[in-house]
Structure 1
Amino acid sequence: MTESKSAVTPPVGQALNDIVKRVSETRFTLRSDDFAEARTAHSALTAELNDYVLPRINRSRTPFLIAVGGSTGAGKSTLVNSLVGRNVSPAGVRRPTTGNPVVIFNPADAKFFESEHYLPDLPRSTDPQSSMPGVVLIADENIEPGTAILDCPDIDSISETNRALSHRVLLSADLWLFVTTANRYADAAPWALLKTAAARSTSVAIVLDRVPPEANREVRHHLSSLLSEAGLANSPIFSVAELELEDGLLPHAAIYPIRSWISQVGTEGTSLERIRNRTLTGAIAALPARVSELADFAETQEQAHITLAGSLEKSFRSAQSGLAEVFSDGRVLHGEVNARWQDFVGTGQLFRGLEPTMARMRDRISAAVTGKHDAATPLHVAILRSAAVSLREQAIDVVDEVNAEWRNTAAGAALIEDQPELRTVGAGLEDAVKTAVSTWSDEVNALVRDIGQGKKSKARILSFGVAGVCAVVEYAAFWDPQRAHDAGQSTRQGAGVALNLAETIFGADEAAGLIASIRQRFLDAAVGIVADCRTPFDNALRLSAVPARQAGALRASGERLEVAL
């Protein structure tokens, strides 16, 4: 039997191939609010394209697939076994009975059901009792060549995996033989799928199982009314009375109308092709809307990624731009640093309003570095400790801020939940800060010593002592009158004295240049430390990156198919 190609024109085929490509490239990497729904839609569309559409537009011959589906306990497997004439699919009281789809086909069609053609990602088995997930393949001479019957898992199974697989198998078929019972035909689960069938013009026949004779007419009438409302008015209804089974099978007379109808459909080329083309055409016509829905989900992913990246950039840009203020507005000089500074310069004369001469100040500092009273080292240590604490706080604050921002979104909260390294600063922060501050201190020392090689400043530096001079310029480096709007009086006075001392030692211009240089060196180190705290977040975004413009590409492919249709 050769399949008609009339259902798919070349432009439609090209548009379909483009859709397949775009859908395969679509990624849902962020757990946004609609993540589960998006993944389900993507999985279902991918499966339908690969399991149903592509085989029928790219292959010259595919079997006519009849899917037998329905609710738990409706009698699907018993019906399948009865149609085949022997027990090929498990049937019984255990629920769910059918966990794997069972495919019964003529041996002549075996090649189509090889893994590269049908449900390619599922393992194959020939044992209906197998507990391993996969497709059960049963070759049977009693099945007409070119026709196959699929016993689907329960559509309302307690197993979510079974429900998803049932939906997928149904959408891979050309015709649905939907089994329900007299007391369950109005349940919500079957009608949700039957409406899907109507939306994609899938041909459906209804088997009303276990119908009491006295209720047959009334039930059929009501069911016909429901089918009409669902857009399935032309679907045939077959009633099967509640009968004793014969060796596990329904009596021949009970299923003869169904078997005869299936045989007629399978052997009459015109009828078969009409059903096949109707289902295929309907499925293709429904694709633009489904691709558009997937594009909406993809756009949500793009926006979620943009939001996370934007809040990350904003937080770290703000943190890094704020470092200049943090390390020049005098806050590093508060507390212990000011106490050590007052000890260093002598608070008695300084804060009684007397202006000590530079000579007297020099004598005091000189005495400190010659061992009479070493105040330079405690001051130096206090400055480095305070600078390290402030730097550490800035790193922790920006990580906490990004955490708070990301936790306000479903996607960000999921990333933080999955990656503990995003929750706090890295374990290496402490060592990195110590190394950066120590390196900066060494650079200050080297700069002072280098300047001390010149004749102009050498004598003064030797007079004050290198350690004392380093402490003075380090103190001055963390003060900028342009930024220190809220500094206390003692900090302002102390910074003024430090600047005067530096100018006395180096000259006004060289002191200003030196202080600006060592301040910038510290800021550069601080920026590097804070930037390193961003790395885990950047890695998280990189690993969850959403393909660029995937939503637009999906929409364009769907519109192209709509035009081709």
Structure 2
Amino acid sequence: MSGSGGARRRELDTAALVSAVQTVRAAVEGSALPVRVDGAEQARRDRVELLHQLDDYVLPRLQSLDAPLLCVVGGSTGAGKSTLVNSVVGELVTRAGVLRPTTRASVLIHHPSDARWFADDRVLPGLARLTGGPTTEEDPGQLRLVASDHIPAGLALLDAPDIDSVVEANRDLARQLLSAADLWLFVTTAVRYADAVPWALLQQATERGTSVAVVLNRVPMDAMGEVRADLAQMLIQQGLGQSPVFAVLESRLDEQGLLPTSEVSRIRSWITSLAADAHARSTVIRRTLSGALDSLSGRANTLAGAVQAQADAVDELRSVSEGAYARATDEVAEGMSDGSLLRGEVLARWQEFVGTGEWFRQLDAGVGKVRDKLSAILRGRGRGVPTTELGEALHTGVAALIASHGESAALSVARQWRTRAGGTELMTEHPELGRVSPEFDARVQQLVREWQGDVLDLVRAEAGGRRTTARFLAFGVNGIAVMLMLITFSATAGLSGAEVGIAGGSAVVAQRLLEAIFGDQAVRTLSAKARRLLLDRVERLYADEQQRHEAALMTLAVDPEVPQRLRAAVDAVKGAR
């Protein structure tokens, strides 16, 4: 019972660890890195390699600890990997050639009794399976399975593409296959054993705890001692001093293209003994698996940092967009109060509204004279006041103010995005963001009309029973609404000299007229409401324009929650171990 209980607990522990690793895998898959920030290219490569190792090795191995040990044979171009594999197996199982790059399916050689472990997509699920002999039309995205009685049960050899192939797809596949290995068998030569590319991968193997063996191939007899000693020293410096090293003399191939048996017998014996010794095989598998799991923390944290950099870049672009439209709203608010709307056409129409401009030019004697004119205006103008022209002039001025700042905001965002990470690409894909939306001008016109309708409603609501008074009847709803619009833009900041007297006096006249109808407190309340109603509409309009930029940012699909999920998932793996 105790043995059964212990096995049950191990199954539960393994299931918990598998679940935790699957959570890491889901977080890695969700870690999009679309923004071109510093280090993004390397981060994308690291992400793909991590996904491959999780899919091709960690999860399959966790779920099948008793599956055969997979030894991946890798190395530089022309190192003689395929010839070595054929010679170790003792038959032609993989196609060797002198032409580079060799474009063919990777070859996995296994004992016939182990076929079930590799026929499905348990390992390397992204590669289609082939069987039978090699052909000249094989796809590098395929995995050719070769069953051979010459390979011991419990171990399989996989002949991988060149790690330094001139074809990028071959290099990427080589790295993917090496990430799926329980054991790396690196093949190099006396001429190329110090090349940088293999040592970069060997360093990676050290960091990830991967089991490694090295074959020094094609070594001249007179250089054997010196080259082997130098290689051994380099391995020690790399932290791989305990790795097995096999040296193969430069030899003539037989008529089948195989190396002499004497040159590969030690390698063959080592493979056979490893396959036969369940404990040794398990030790290699668990050491590599443990190293891969240990590496998850650092690799996931690095990826989390890369995703955070992406999220920060998107946030900066969003901040630029939101800031531009917030400034545009503030500038409209300032334009509503600096008196600029009381110039030109509006001023001329206002003078027509209250009478000739002659008495406006006399306001420097004191705006108190307005009171003396007020009763005459109320008696003499009646309903014939030209409110339409003044309303249209105000409409034109307000629309121009809103439109100009909206256009400036779009230009500002485009200019700033082009100087920031990710923004250049977005502006290339969405050049229309450099200008306002096609319907913007029409919406501005509609906005002003609707606001003018809001002001009319305010006047009607405030008037109540006053609609029959002489003062109200003198100007009517439209005339009073126009005056309310006018005092909404009543501050004199930004004006100077005669303009202060004229435009500022205009606002004072309008305010006195409205105070005579509603009272001073009601006028202040009405003008504040009218101002707020206009700004609310402007904010909504600009928010819709800014939403176009937000929609473009959403296409980047950077999830700011991914870093936290990655770190939490790695912590769960640690807890499950």
TM tier relative to shorter chain: 0.7 to 0.9
Counterpart check, 1:280 vs 2:285:
no
User: How big is the shift at 1:367?
Assistant: 8.8
CA distance in 1 between partners of 2:44 and 2:238 (Å): 27
Counterpart check, 1:290 vs 2:315:
no
What residue is the counterpart of 1:155 in the other structure? 163
1:388-436 deviation line (CA, Å, top 9, x unaligned): 1111223233344444555554244444444445443322211211111
1:68-122 deviation line (CA, Å, top 9, x unaligned): 1111222222323333444443432332214543222233333322453112233
What residue is the counterpart of 1:120 in the other structure? 125
Counterpart check, 1:137 vs 2:139:
no
CA distance in 2 between partners of 1:103 and 1:323 (Å): 71
CA distance in 2 between partners of 1:447 and 1:286 (Å): 68
Cα distance 1:99–1:363, how it changes in 2: closer, same or farther (>3 A)? farther
Counterpart check, 1:464 vs 2:482:
no
TM-score normalized with structure 2 length: 0.84
Cα distance 1:110–1:358, how it changes in 2: closer, same or farther (>3 A)? same
CA distance in 1 between partners of 2:561 and 2:289 (Å): 30
Cα distance 1:190–1:444, how it changes in 2: closer, same or farther (>3 A)? same
What residue is the counterpart of 2:3 in the other structure? none
- Checking the alignment, whether the CA contact within 8 Å between 2:317 and 2:417 is kept in structure 1 is yes
User: How big is the shift at 1:170?
Assistant: 0.6
What residue is the counterpart of 1:358 in the other structure? 374
For residue 63 of structure 1, the aligned residue among 49, 64, 68 is 68
Aligned residue type for 1:109: D
Counterpart check, 1:265 vs 2:274:
yes
User: How big is the shift at 1:233?
Assistant: 1.8
3-state SS, counterpart of residue 396 of structure 1: helix
CA distance in 2 between partners of 1:84 and 1:415 (Å): 54
What residue is the counterpart of 1:174 in the other structure? 182
3-state SS, counterpart of residue 66 of structure 1: strand
Cα distance 1:23–1:500, how it changes in 2: closer, same or farther (>3 A)? same
CA distance in 2 between partners of 1:513 and 1:285 (Å): 68
- Checking the alignment, whether the CA contact within 8 Å between 1:90 and 1:97 is kept in structure 2 is no
Greater alpha carbon shift after TM alignment, 450-459 vs 193-202:
450-459
User: How big is the shift at 1:156?
Assistant: 1.2
Cα distance 1:46–1:473, how it changes in 2: closer, same or farther (>3 A)? same
3-state SS, counterpart of residue 485 of structure 1: coil
1:31-68 deviation line (CA, Å, top 9, x unaligned): 13333222222222222122112222222531211111
What residue is the counterpart of 2:199 in the other structure? 191
Cα distance 1:60–1:69, how it changes in 2: closer, same or farther (>3 A)? closer
For residue 358 of structure 2, the aligned residue among 348, 351, 354 is 348
Cα distance 1:409–1:457, how it changes in 2: closer, same or farther (>3 A)? farther
Name structure 2 gaps, 5 residues minimum: 1-6
User: How big is the shift at 1:559?
Assistant: 4.7
Cα distance 1:343–1:125, how it changes in 2: closer, same or farther (>3 A)? farther
Greater alpha carbon shift after TM alignment, 509-518 vs 188-197:
509-518
CA distance in 1 between partners of 2:207 and 2:129 (Å): 31
TM-score normalized with structure 1 length: 0.85
Cα distance 1:548–1:217, how it changes in 2: closer, same or farther (>3 A)? same
Aligned residue type for 1:243: R
Greater alpha carbon shift after TM alignment, 387-396 vs 334-343:
334-343
For residue 77 of structure 1, the aligned residue among 64, 79, 82 is 82
For residue 58 of structure 2, the aligned residue among 28, 48, 53 is 53
For residue 438 of structure 1, the aligned residue among 441, 449, 464 is 449
- Checking the alignment, whether the CA contact within 8 Å between 2:53 and 2:179 is kept in structure 1 is yes
What residue is the counterpart of 1:383 in the other structure? 394
3-state SS, counterpart of residue 232 of structure 1: coil
Cα distance 1:282–1:450, how it changes in 2: closer, same or farther (>3 A)? closer
Aligned residue type for 1:436: L
For residue 24 of structure 1, the aligned residue among 23, 26, 35 is 26
What residue is the counterpart of 2:265 in the other structure? 256
For residue 512 of structure 2, the aligned residue among 500, 511, 515 is 500
Greater alpha carbon shift after TM alignment, 422-431 vs 306-315:
306-315
User: How big is the shift at 1:324?
Assistant: 3.4
- Checking the alignment, whether the CA contact within 8 Å between 1:407 and 1:416 is kept in structure 2 is yes
Counterpart check, 1:426 vs 2:434:
no
Greater alpha carbon shift after TM alignment, 389-398 vs 252-261:
252-261
What residue is the counterpart of 1:222 in the other structure? 230
- Checking the alignment, whether the CA contact within 8 Å between 2:32 and 2:557 is kept in structure 1 is no
Greater alpha carbon shift after TM alignment, 402-411 vs 32-41:
402-411
- Checking the alignment, whether the CA contact within 8 Å between 2:399 and 2:445 is kept in structure 1 is yes
The residue correspondences of 1:290-309 to structure 2 (distance < 5 A) are: 290-309=299-318
Cα distance 1:74–1:517, how it changes in 2: closer, same or farther (>3 A)? same
For residue 37 of structure 1, the aligned residue among 32, 37, 42 is 42
- Checking the alignment, whether the CA contact within 8 Å between 2:72 and 2:184 is kept in structure 1 is yes
What residue is the counterpart of 1:329 in the other structure? 338
User: How big is the shift at 1:305?
Assistant: 4.6
- Checking the alignment, whether the CA contact within 8 Å between 1:305 and 1:545 is kept in structure 2 is no
Greater alpha carbon shift after TM alignment, 383-392 vs 352-361:
352-361
For residue 109 of structure 2, the aligned residue among 104, 111, 128 is 104
Name structure 1 gaps, 5 residues minimum: none
User: How big is the shift at 1:557?
Assistant: 4.3
Identity of aligned residues (%): 36
CA distance in 2 between partners of 1:19 and 1:418 (Å): 37
CA distance in 1 between partners of 2:83 and 2:89 (Å): 10
3-state SS, counterpart of residue 143 of structure 2: strand
User: How big is the shift at 1:524?
Assistant: 1.9
- Checking the alignment, whether the CA contact within 8 Å between 1:77 and 1:98 is kept in structure 2 is no
- Checking the alignment, whether the CA contact within 8 Å between 1:181 and 1:210 is kept in structure 2 is yes
CA distance in 2 between partners of 1:28 and 1:554 (Å): 13
3-state SS, counterpart of residue 209 of structure 1: strand
User: How big is the shift at 1:153?
Assistant: 1.7
Cα distance 1:364–1:76, how it changes in 2: closer, same or farther (>3 A)? farther
Cα distance 1:390–1:115, how it changes in 2: closer, same or farther (>3 A)? farther
3-state SS, counterpart of residue 358 of structure 2: helix
Greater alpha carbon shift after TM alignment, 350-359 vs 488-497:
350-359
